[in-house]
Amino acid sequence: MTADDLKRQAALRAVEYVREGMDVGLGTGSTAEHAVREIGRRVREEALHVRCVATSNKISRLAAEVGIKVVTLEECPQLDVTIDGADEIVLGTLDAIKGMGGALLYEKMVALATHEEILVVDGSKVVKKLGDHTSVPVEVVRWGWTRTRDTLRDLDCEPVLRLGADRSPFVTDSGHLILDCRFPPMADAYPIAKAIKQITGVVEHGLFLGIVSRVVIATADGVRVVERDWS
């Protein structure tokens, strides 16, 4: 199976946690798109009634196309469940890196408003330490961004301005830039997360720590679910 096949399998399993009458967060990215399409199918064919908050304009448009009722976070400030993807995840802690799809600010706002955050991944996203393969996306204000970049370098990382397909700077839905920050593998990401947020000019970062409730993982051997022990 291809990586996309695995993502779809995991997304279909995650959608099983969506129940009648729930308020649901919709993540951004290729994995989340599979979940959105499956929720839309259930809405159309099974008369499932849910309200959904989308984490990007692209996902909002897709949700509307497949028949999902889309509302804002202001209209629905508390969500039952959110289904999203991840770029890296450590199974022992369920800490993750997200944001390669460019929606990390809205994804984190929705995650923090959610009772149960579910991440959907294929086996290639499972790592021993955050930063093993992936940079940490950091969303920054455009004004003075080079100074923010230079300050981030003091944290022992190399920030690179993300570019779009046309080679111009990628701009988020909220009008900001993204610096992809390559850190050495992190034994403890919490001090790094705190230090990033303390930099003036930083809006948000893609370290999702202590947030995820459950991860659904698809590999060639099948789909498995790992849950956080909150005790």
Catalytic residue positions, numbered: 107
Q: SS3 string of 137-171?
A: EEEECCCCHHHHHHHHHCCCCEEEECECCCCCECC
Give the closest residue to 15 by CA, choosing from 214, 211, 207, 210: 214
What the block records as the tokens of 122 is 């294929």
Q: Is 6 helix (H, G, I), strand (E, B) or coil?
A: helix
Q: What is the DSSP string of 177-210?
A: EEEEEEPPPBS--HHHHHHHHTSTTEEEESEE-S
- 127 in Cβ contact with 97 (< 8 Å): no
Give the closest residue to 9 by CA, choosing from 36, 30, 34: 34
- 216 in Cβ contact with 31 (< 8 Å): no
Q: How far apart, in whole angstroms, are the C-alpha atoms of residue 30 and residue 11? A: 10
What the block records as the tokens of 220 is 């060639």
Q: Cα separations (Å) of 109 from 44, 106, 114?
A: 28, 5, 9
